[in-house]
């Protein structure tokens, strides 16, 4: 991976929508992207409906940033994770098989390798679990438990451990996308009663030689950053930010770092935790 950035083709392209899939409060949006390159884990796309309301002449008229969740095998299919929380996601959730989607991507900088012998710890919150699915699949594909080395000749790392936090049982159904995973819920209806960072502390107590990968709400990411900073552990955080363009022109998604302000869409969305101010 090594902070992978796959370069997107110039301009948007229209692709057909596939059969949607539901997981509790979430919906998986599938599309067939024959002309685009395979994305790297942690990259994102700018997405909008190509027709009907929300396609350009009425609200919402901008493409929306969505982390790619899966790019299965060698197929042309892409998958994104949605929750209907507003006009933009409502329109995307209403798409039927055969409808058209406008895509720009893949964009941004993805995740880097965990480092020799380090255990990958994946920490996700809510819809932020999406980029951890493609990351987990990539790590597992490269891991050879019997041979003791990564595919391609690099040193082996232990298989990833996944920790997921959700609001309640309906949202926790999203964990079906990342089995097996330890689950925490705010209301205690599934798994651990409390924040997912408490599960992270448990895992680090068992084995602290790890690299942490996290995506989720800002408060969760800040808690992960502090936990890792106190233990001098490497962590990579996939940030969420409102984006108008996706390729750095508007400067609408800046984040403060130790080296000044950086654009989430081109300098991220994945940042090393120690670089964030």
Quick one: three-class SS letters along 10-27? Answer: CCCEEEEECCCEEECCEE
| Radius of gyration, CA atoms only, the chain | 18
Same topology between domain 13-106 and domain 119-275: no
Q: What's 44's DSSP letter?
A: E
Residue 73 burial by CB count (10 A; 0-12/13-18/19+): exposed, middle or buried?
exposed
* CATH architecture observed for domain 13-106: Beta Barrel (2.40)
Mean pLDDT by 10 residues, the chain (277 residues): 72 92 95 92 93 55 86 84 88 91 94 92 97 95 54 61 97 95 97 98 94 97 97 96 85 91 94 94
Report the first-to-last Cα separation within the chain, whole angstroms.
Answer: 25
Model pTM score: 0.90
Q: What is the structure's pLDDT at 260?
A: 93
Taking the C-alpha atoms of residue 204 and residue 260, their distance in angstroms, rounded to an integer, is 31
Q: What is the structure's pLDDT at 150?
A: 38
Give yes or no for a cis peptide into 60 (omega within 30° of 0).
yes
Q: What is the structure's pLDDT at 2?
A: 63
Domain ranges of the chain: 13-106, 119-275
Taking the C-alpha atoms of residue 51 and residue 121, their distance in angstroms, rounded to an integer, is 40
Q: What is the structure's pLDDT at 144?
A: 56
Specify the DSSP element, H or E, that contains 82.
strand 77-82
Q: Residue 12: left (phi > 0), alpha (psi -120 to 50), or beta?
A: beta
Q: What's 154's DSSP letter?
A: P
Taking the C-alpha atoms of residue 122 and residue 213, their distance in angstroms, rounded to an integer, is 5
Domain 119-275 grouped into CATH 3.40.50.10440: no
Specify the DSSP element, H or E, that contains 122.
strand 119-125
- Smallest CA-to-CA distance from 9 within 99, 109, 106, 100 is with 106
Q: What is the structure's pLDDT at 245?
A: 85
SS3 content of the chain, % helix, strand, coil (to 5): 25, 30, 45
């Amino acid at each position: 991976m090594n902070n992978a950035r796959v370069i997107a083709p110039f301009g948007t392209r229209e692709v057909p929508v596939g059969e949607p899939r539901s997981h509790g409060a979430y919906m998986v949006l599938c599309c067939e992207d024959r002309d685009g390159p395979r994305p790297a884990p942690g990259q994102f796309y700018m997405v909008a409906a190509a027709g009907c309301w929300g396609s350009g002449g009425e609200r919402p008229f901008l493409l929306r940033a969505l982390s790619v969740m899966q790019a299965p095998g060698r197929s042309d299919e892409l998958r994104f994770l949605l929750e209907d929380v507003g006009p933009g996601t409502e329109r995307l959730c209403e798409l039927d098989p055969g409808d058209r989607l406008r895509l720009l991507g893949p964009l941004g900088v993805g995740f880097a390798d965990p480092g020799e012998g380090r255990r990958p710890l994946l920490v996700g919150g809510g819809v932020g679990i999406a980029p951890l699915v493609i990351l987990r699949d990539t790590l597992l594909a490269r891991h050879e438990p019997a041979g003791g080395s990564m595919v391609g000749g690099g040193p082996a790392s232990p298989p990833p451990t996944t920790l997921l936090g959700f609001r309640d049982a309906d949202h926790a159904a999203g964990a079906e996308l990342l089995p097996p995973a330890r689950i925490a819920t705010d209301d205690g209806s599934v798994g651990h009663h409390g924040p997912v960072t408490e599960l992270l502390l448990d895992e680090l107590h068992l084995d602290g030689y790890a690299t942490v990968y996290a995506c989720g709400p800002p408060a969760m990411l800040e808690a992960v950053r502090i936990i890792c900073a106190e233990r001098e552990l490497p962590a990579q955080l996939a940030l969420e930010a409102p984006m108008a363009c996706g390729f750095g022109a508007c400067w609408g998604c800046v984040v403060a770092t130790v080296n000044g302000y950086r654009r989430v869409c081109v300098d991220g969305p994945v940042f090393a935790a120690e670089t964030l101010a």
